[in-house]
């Protein structure tokens, strides 16, 4: 239900403006400027990257199901588009109450740290509980090198005081999980692994709670997003949980390459020189700039588009009532580039948010 609702909501906003693939990329959190911009444009930022394991096949299959139910109308030109039908809004309205409250997603803000937070927490709990029992031949449930490295370094500091820190984790998790429904908290706790007790797989959770495999994953993500947002607002109430994400700041949200560009810009290097130094195309640096504009709170737009040009672009957007770049480009002076339009659009939608 949750997965279906989210798909329908995306279609409802996007309609014929973008292909079906764009929804797939949005949910998977594709690191492309187009996808990030679309998220802003259609006000779907909260769903960005909330279902990273979604496969193309499963996505297509689900869209098909929705079409068969009469909730979507498929249009095939060179590419595939979906329109919502008269039934769609009825369905969304009736199901909003029955399905889970899925209002906590903050995909664009948290998609990068969601997995990191959860993986770190899960592996840290497994390590501390086993270490407390002097049992060192357990098989770690997470084997990503970056996560393992982090847990190792933290464990070195906590070693010898396992009981004390487990008690702190218990207190904080108990406090924070009380903000959630019983089912949500239950799913979260059942997923955890401790000493001689391995957590449940997604399929097991699906069977136990009578929710689809899609929805179980989305419930967990929703829970983690709300949890993260609580942590950001109430740091002092959850010192240990906050510590887990302390090192993950906002610039880490930039892709690696964009971050390098960002550093060069801060040193005053021009776009052309950055491109030459890094042996990249100017277009790529432009993409980085837009990515930076989306994250950076004080982005100096006037450096790249003067106020008159900004106004011209905004007028064109209003006139065409379209968000297609080509339509806008036709309405403005030839001297205004695609890059400038994209930059203005990115910032405009960021402000709307």
Partner 1 sequence: MNQQVTLEQELNKHFHYSSFRLGQKEIIEDVLQGKDVLGILPTGSGKSICYQLPAMLLDGVTIVVSPLISLMIDQVKQLKAIQIKQVVALNSFMDPSERKKVYKNLHAYKLIYISPELLQQEEIIRLLQRTKISLFVIDEAHCISQWGHEFRPDYLKLNMIIEKLNNPRTLALSATATPTVQQDIIDLLNKPKMIKHVYPMDRSNLSFCIEEVSNDQEKLEYLTQHLKTYHVSTLIYFSSRIATENIAKLLSEKLPERKIAFYHGGMEQMDRITIQQQFMNDQLDIICCTSAFGMGINKGNIRFVIHYHLPLQLESYIQEVGRAGRDGKSSVCLLLFSNKDLFIPLNMIKNELPSEQILTFIYKYLSRLVSERKELPNNEVEIANLFQLNEIQWRFLRFQFEKHGMIANNRINFQEEKWKQSYQEIKQLIKDRTSIKEQKLNEILQWIHELGCLRKNLYKNFQPAYSMVDDQCCSNCGFSWSEWNPVQTKKAVNEEADWESKLRKLLLMNAL
Binding site for partner 1 (CB under 8 A): 53, 125, 129, 132-133, 136-143, 145, 166-167, 169-170, 173-174, 177, 182, 185-186, 188-190, 192-204, 207
List of residues 6+ apart from 194 with CB closer than 8 A: 125, 126, 129, 130
Least distance from partner 1 to the Cβ atom of residue 221, Å: 14
Which residue's CB is nearer to partner 1, number 136 or number 157? 136
What's the per-residue H, E or C state across 78-144? CCEEEEECHHHHHHHHHHHHHCCCCCCCCHHHHHHHHHHHHHHHHHHHHHHHHHHCCCCCCCCCCCC
Least distance from partner 1 to the Cβ atom of residue 170, Å: 4
d(CA 26, CA 229): 21
Least distance from partner 1 to the Cβ atom of residue 138, Å: 7
Residue 172, both tokens: 């904080």
Which residue's CB is nearer to partner 1, number 138 or number 295? 138
Least distance from partner 1 to the Cβ atom of residue 209, Å: 12
Which residue's CB is nearer to partner 1, number 216 or number 265? 216
What 8-state DSSP symbol labels residue 211? -
Least distance from partner 1 to the Cβ atom of residue 228, Å: 19
CB 84, CB 73: distance < 8 Å: yes
Which residue's CB is nearer to partner 1, number 144 or number 278? 144
Which residue's CB is nearer to partner 1, number 73 or number 140? 140
Estimate the crossing angle of helix 338-352 against helix 282-295, to 10 degrees.
10
Least distance from partner 1 to the Cβ atom of residue 201, Å: 4
Which residue's CB is nearer to partner 1, number 71 or number 118? 118
The residue among 304, 290, 300 whose CA lies nearest residue 346 is: 290
């Amino acid at each position: 239900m949750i997965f279906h609702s989210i798909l329908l909501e995306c279609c409802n906003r996007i309609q014929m403006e973008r292909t079906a693939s764009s929804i797939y990329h949005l949910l998977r959190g594709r690191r492309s400027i187009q996808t990030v911009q679309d998220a802003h444009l259609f006000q779907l930022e909260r769903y960005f990257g909330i279902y990273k394991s979604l496969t193309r096949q499963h996505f297509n299959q689900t869209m098909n199901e929705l079409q068969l139910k009469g909730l979507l109308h498929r249009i095939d030109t060179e590419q595939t588009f979906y329109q919502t039908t008269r039934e769609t809004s009825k369905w969304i309205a009736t199901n909003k109450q029955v399905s889970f409250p899925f209002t906590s997603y903050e995909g664009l803000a948290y998609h990068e740290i969601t997995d990191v937070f959860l993986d770190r927490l899960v592996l840290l709990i497994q390590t501390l509980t086993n270490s407390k029992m002097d049992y060192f031949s357990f098989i770690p449930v997470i084997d990503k090198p970056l996560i393992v490295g982090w847990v190792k370094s933290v464990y070195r500091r906590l070693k010898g005081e396992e009981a004390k820190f487990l008690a702190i984790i218990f207190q904080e998790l108990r406090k924070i999980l009380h903000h959630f429904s019983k089912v949500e908290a239950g799913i979260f706790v059942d997923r955890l692994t401790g000493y001689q007790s391995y957590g449940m797989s997604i399929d097991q959770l699906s069977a136990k709670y009578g929710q689809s495999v899609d929805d179980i994953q989305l419930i967990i993500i929703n829970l983690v997003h709300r949890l993260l947002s609580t942590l950001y607002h109430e740091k002092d109430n959850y010192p240990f949980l906050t510590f887990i994400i302390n090192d993950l700041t906002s610039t880490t949200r930039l892709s690696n390459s964009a971050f390098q560009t960002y550093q060069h810009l801060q040193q005053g290097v021009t776009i052309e020189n950055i491109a030459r130094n890094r042996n990249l195309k100017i277009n790529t640096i432009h993409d980085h700039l837009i990515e930076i504009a989306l994250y950076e709170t004080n982005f100096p737009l006037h450096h790249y588009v003067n106020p008159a040009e900004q106004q011209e672009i905004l007028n064109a957007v209003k006139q065409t009532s379209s968000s297609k770049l080509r339509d806008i480009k036709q309405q403005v002076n030839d001297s205004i580039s695609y890059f400038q339009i994209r930059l203005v659009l990115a910032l405009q939608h960021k402000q709307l948010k």
